[in-house]
Chain A
């Protein structure tokens, strides 16, 4: 029981931000939702296009496919680095910290540019391959789906590390000790004890990474070169190239609904105490 004398001052302290976001974020979002049912004419026409239009459908399907692949790869990679980060020697920890947190602070644009520098026709990879005589001409390594996936995985790995780390830190060492005492091999301890114990963290990381990946815009737009368009880029194109604000708004509302459903799922796991660290 904290004293109620501070209730009103405390509420007043929270008020500026809550009011600011109510006016600058919540209300305009309702405006966007309104666009989705009024542009170009009142009705649910835009939502019918969401499910009926083959172009919109193919973009949504591609987005889900790419995001699933990206999520699986990113969580697997993050699991490996987090494992060493949490359980490794001091030196290993320092090195991993640099690898995870330095790219995290670097702009998305710089990182996308780095991939272009590596993978473009005259880029570092192609130049080295040709110098070694392994290939005759340049390979098309960029402006395609695999390069989009590589770029997205790169951005998302750090987001998967934190939930995984909090799950791995709660593993009871005595369980591993018991397994070893009973003669389990290194692989067996990992596979039958450690991995199942950290599974809640894996689920949490998977949901978070998937949710984040759905709205990706900058990385796919640059590395995809306008060929494999994802949902977020479609919104941009509908806003600024072929003005079709109603459809852009309808896609935005659909994205929010999908993300809300996934976050609801995540909250359920957290409430059941299944995700490590209660995220």
Chain B
């Protein structure tokens, strides 16, 4: 029970910030229905031209499919590595594990532009071995996205593990369960929701990654954000408004689906 609810001043200030946070998302919607080629509000008539472009222009479709594919690969790779790592950390002595966790969280803390340069170095090096795994390739982008997203997955799975009652693992061990049995029959079923959330988050992060992708692709591996970037720098194309609305709707659906599957709400009245 709170003795003091926020006063009117605090509520109004928070409301203003809330409006500020939603404003750019809402602004995209009317622009996407404009009939013209310019970034204007539709006058009089609404039009779906820009939505049609998304399906008729092969560039958009190809990028959407490529981004979905890379997002899926990245999600599987990143979540697997992160879950295995987090399980190991959960079983290790705390003192020893701090250093390891710090190390794997680096890509989240280091400025993205530095990571971008680092991954550019890696992938141009790998290109010397084979063009299909290095710079401007699907595998190269997947590897880079895995590096960038894995810290978020690790955090998610560690948070899920922190809520597991250690006594059930202790009980399993007491009854002679092997490490593999403990992991697959005891621990993993208890963190399944956390792992699924991590996979979802990684997919979204990869799907919209641009900072690093910009450095490591040029003409072949044009992901959706990369294509949007090209249309945003110079003459702003209203087709981007249409794709943005689609992206916002997809994200909202994913968030709603996640809420529906969640067993208990995260932020409840204490």
Min CB gap B218→A, angstroms: 9
B119 within 8 A of A: yes
Min CB gap B24→A, angstroms: 3
Interface string of A5-35 (1 = CB under 8 A from B): 0110111111111101100111111011001
Closest to B226 in A: A109
Q: B215–A113 contact, CB under 8 A?
A: no
Residues 240-264 of A contacting B (Cβ, < 8 Å): 240, 248-249, 252, 255-256, 259, 263
Residues 81-114 of A contacting B (Cβ, < 8 Å): 81, 83-85, 87-90, 92-93, 95-103, 105-114
Closest to B18 in A: A99
Closest to B32 in A: A117
What is the predominant secondary structure among interface residues of chain B facing chain A?
helix
Query: Given known contacts A114-B27, A154-B20, is B232 in contact with A109 (CB within 8 Å)?
Result: yes
Q: A16–B84 contact, CB under 8 A?
A: yes
Min CB gap B217→A, angstroms: 12
Q: B39–A24 contact, CB under 8 A?
A: no
Closest to A231 in B: B113
Residues of B within 8 Å of A176, CB to CB, are 3-4
Residues of A within 8 Å of B84, CB to CB, are 13-14, 16-17
Number of residue pairs spanning A and B whose beta carbons lie under 8 angstroms apart:
285
Query: Given known contacts A13-B87, A92-B11, A116-B236, is B41 in contact with A217 (CB within 8 Å)?
Result: no
Picked from B26, B30, B147, the residue with its CB within 8 Å of the CB of A24 is B147
Could you tell me the distance between the alpha carbons of A107 and B244 in the complex, rounded to whole angstroms? 9
Interface string of A195-237 (1 = CB under 8 A from B): 0000000000000000100110110011000000001100110
Could you tell me the distance between the alpha carbons of A139 and B44 in the complex, rounded to whole angstroms? 24
Picked from A10, A32, A217, the residue with its CB within 8 Å of the CB of B91 is A10
Q: B118–A25 contact, CB under 8 A?
A: yes
Query: Given known contacts A13-B85, A93-B267, A114-B25, is B121 in contact with A35 (CB within 8 Å)?
Result: yes
Q: A113–B241 contact, CB under 8 A?
A: yes
Q: A117–B113 contact, CB under 8 A?
A: no
Residues of A within 8 Å of B240, CB to CB, are 113
Min CB gap A78→B, angstroms: 8
Q: B25–A115 contact, CB under 8 A?
A: no
Residues of B within 8 Å of A239, CB to CB, are 117, 120, 215
Q: A106–B248 contact, CB under 8 A?
A: yes
Name which of B24, B103, B125 has the most chain A CB atoms within 10 A of its CB: B24
Residues of A within 8 Å of B228, CB to CB, are 109, 113
Q: B88–A12 contact, CB under 8 A?
A: yes
Interface string of B213-245 (1 = CB under 8 A from A): 011000000000100110011001000110010
Q: A124–B267 contact, CB under 8 A?
A: no
> Which of B56-64, B68-76, B190-198, B204-212 sits within the interface?
B204-212
Q: B88–A117 contact, CB under 8 A?
A: no
Q: A87–B121 contact, CB under 8 A?
A: no
Could you tell me the distance between the alpha carbons of A173 and B245 in the complex, rounded to whole angstroms? 43
Picked from B87, B114, B173, B225, the residue with its CB within 8 Å of the CB of A109 is B225
Name which of B40, B110, B113 has the most chain A CB atoms within 10 A of its CB: B113
B162 within 8 A of A: no
Interface string of A108-141 (1 = CB under 8 A from B): 1111111111101011100100000000000000
Cβ-closest 9 pairs across A and B: A215-B111, A114-B24, A13-B88, A107-B208, A14-B88, A99-B18, A10-B91, A232-B113, A84-B14
Given A10-B88, A78-B17, 8 further pairs, Cβ under 8 A: A10-B90, A24-B122, A81-B14, A100-B21, A109-B210, A109-B228, A113-B244, A255-B114
